[in-house]
Amino acid sequence: MKHDKIQETHQSISGGVHTNRRHDSAEKHVTGRADYCDDIAEPYGTLHAYLGVSTIAHGLIRGIDFSKVLAAPGVVGVLTAEDVPGSNDLSPTGLKDEPVFPTEKTEFHGQPLFAVVAETRDAARRAAELAKIDYEELPHALDPIEATEARYPFVTAPLKLERGDTGKAFADAENRIKGQLAIGGQDHMYLEGHIAFALPGEDDDVVVHSSTQHPSEAQHMVAHVLGVPSNAVTVNVRRMGGGFGGKESQMNLFCAVAAIAAKKWNRPVKIRPDRDQDMTATGKRHDFVVDYDVAFDNDGRIQAVDGTFAARCGYSSDLSGPVTDRALFHADNAYYYPNVLLRSRPMKTNTVSNTAFRGFGGPQGVVAAERMIEEIAYALGKDPLEVRKANFYGDRTDGRNLTPYHQEVEDNILHRLVGELESNADYQARRQAILDHNRQSSVIKKGIALTPVKFGISFTATWYNQAGSLIHIYNDGSIHLNHGGTEMGQGLNTKVAQVVADTLQVDFERIKITKTTTEKVPNTSATAASSGSDLNGMAALNAAEQLKERLVSFAAEAFDVAPEAVIFRNNMVQVGQDVISFDDLVRKAYMARVHLSAAGFYKTPKIHWDRAAGKGRPFYYYAYGAACSEVSVDTLTGEYRIDQTDILHDVGRSLNPILDKGQVEGAFIQGMGWLTTEELWWDKAGRLRTHAPSTYKIPLASDRPRKFDVRLAEWSENKERTIKRSKAVGEPPFMLGISVFEALSMAVASVADYRECPRLDAPATPERVLMAVERLREGG
């Protein structure tokens, strides 16, 4: 049947790329209809597990008496290392230093030693407290400094980055400053805690529903501890109630315990710790102590940097190697160091093994870079922004574009981005007004700071930079989309579905987004490193293009036209002079036995890394951003508020501007919380005392900036061939919160007329701010 040609509109489908599209589960989230792991209906006979944990920080385990545990009401049994049928190891890096349950020694307060399995969760939880454990206590070290003094080993091999001649540069320097900065850790505080639900199958089979960012690793670990091949284990994830990196490797323990118990008793088993145990038994963002030495000229230009980054890694390696590596990769932030020497010190400590957290070590490196800029500014009596701009990376024409790891910065937009924000935020006039205010007010002091971010995008473990997808088109024209990424509220599924909708030129509503499962896409990477959309979007694009190519070939042959005459647009397909619906074309293709399923794949090009040499191109590209924050500090109490924050952030050509803007807003608040109110505190016995929302303070809605303006750099487009020329958005804006930390520093410095750097440690709690004010008032 003949029809007029399809209208040539640029964007006529519903929900294509580069358009605002609300999160596909938004209504379910706010109405409570979104199903999470704990909402899965429990089959008859489901058992519940709960962890029994160590009550000392370090010691030999002489024996455990389970008699009262086993006699407790509802208890079915206890799991210990002896019940692990395969390997008693959960180390994600293969160093074999993280047992499911230890056999001889406990290495941190709260370490899981066994699990109780009972008919109800309450019965298991109560019974776990009844075990009598005989310890021989050993000395312990809780932080990097104590661990260094106690000659504790590294938990993994350290890294060194070096370029130029720092010895000569320091010897010839006009100015030189040495200092030390303590940077606190952070709890993930996801709304949904850890949980795993295992259902035994026939033979070796087991299905595990879990809230994990890394289904394939959970699959591998469960197979590893059960002593079965990975094909016997299926891991399913529909959605998470937040992750932020805390569910990348830390979920492995809970998946393993649930699976071991399920196979042992041949009954479904669920394990869900309460918030206290979740916080004490699982890892956090790494604390760092950074020793820095910086040489600079009288104009504020950096000549040399020497930095040592010691991290509280905890008792095992976990992901501390790549985390501490990335801290060094970002110790330059936006600044060119002509001569540089950076070293990591991943210290073993008698604390929970720290792990991935949004930014993955990068934020700690960026804070150190900003501290050195701040030191230079106060030493020379300059505006820190002036010093920042003087040290920005340049390009090949000026030779100021080589990083400490010898990667060239080829996509630098810092000068334009920062200049635009400086103008839009009226930074110069506001800073002068603040200087005037601080001269007149003795109690309320103000501060302002404009800080940049340059963040590398890619997994530094090169083999993780790959992704797969699976797309089915059913013969009624509906589409089934599956990919290896996991949805934790960030909108990944929405963006990937937009890519498929755009490629096939069909409405977003036509696409069914399904759970992530190891049955459909194998060997997936963690949804982490800000790479979810980059990797899985490209894999889905690859699958969609395969399907489109098959449909084009079929249509061209069936209608006797050239392939170029087959055009997909607005749920229709023009085939020469004929126009048919997408549904009709699919139905005809099905009748002609055209394969309507495709597996897509993508691997990131250009990247390579030689860790031993400290050289390579670990990042495909950089994402940039800048934030300008203004604060008011009560110098009598140390309390403060954020008066205004203006943000300009680079996401390339955004796949979904409204989702990306939400990511920037949330990341900024989370980064602000890390540097202001979120404080982890262990007592001398090694007990984490900030182990619940009652003792650990995350930012509230009332803590947000009174005026909060977030904009995307709409003129930016990724120079690399990423998915629709977009850029990653998960991690880079987290570091925009550093602008608040720097603004607080300026307010504190005002009490001594800006003559010295206050050297605030992070988090800059009201107590720390007050102590810094008093110290400066007393002359240091």
Cβ distance 645 to 627 under 8 Å?
A: yes
Angle at 440 between CA 435 and CA 443, to 5 degrees: 100
Of the candidates 373, 453, 456, the one whose C-alpha atom is nearest the C-alpha of residue 414 is: 453
Residue 368's contacts (CB-CB under 8 Å, 6 or more residues apart) are 181, 183, 288, 290, 292, 307, 309, 331
The sheet that has 572-575: what strands, in order across it? 566-569, 572-575, 578-581
CA distance 103 to 99: 8
Q: Amino acid letter at 416?
A: R
CA distance 698 to 171: 45
> In whole angstroms, how far apart are CA 206 and each of 228, 261, 463?
10, 11, 27
CA distance 504 to 84: 48
Of the candidates 93, 131, 96, the one whose C-alpha atom is nearest the C-alpha of residue 112 is: 131
Is-cis flag, bond preceding 618, omega within 30? no
Instruction: Specify the DSSP element, H or E, that contains 198.
Output: strand 196-200
Of the candidates 216, 532, 10, 462, the one whose C-alpha atom is nearest the C-alpha of residue 224 is: 216
Of the candidates 156, 163, 157, the one whose C-alpha atom is nearest the C-alpha of residue 614 is: 163
Of the candidates 775, 724, 719, 721, the one whose C-alpha atom is nearest the C-alpha of residue 751 is: 775
CA distance 633 to 446: 6
Q: How far is CA 665 from the centre of its chain?
A: 15
Q: How far is CA 165 from the centre of its chain?
A: 34
Cβ distance 72 to 122 under 8 Å?
A: no
Cβ distance 328 to 192 under 8 Å?
A: no
Determine which one of 370, 375, 422, 731 is catalytic: 731
Residue 676's contacts (CB-CB under 8 Å, 6 or more residues apart) are 640, 699, 740, 741, 744, 763, 764, 765
Does the annotation mark 487 as catalytic? no
User: Between the CA atoms of 298, 299, 300 and 303, what dihedral angle is there, to the nearest 10 degrees?
Assistant: -70
What positions carry a catalytic annotation? 731
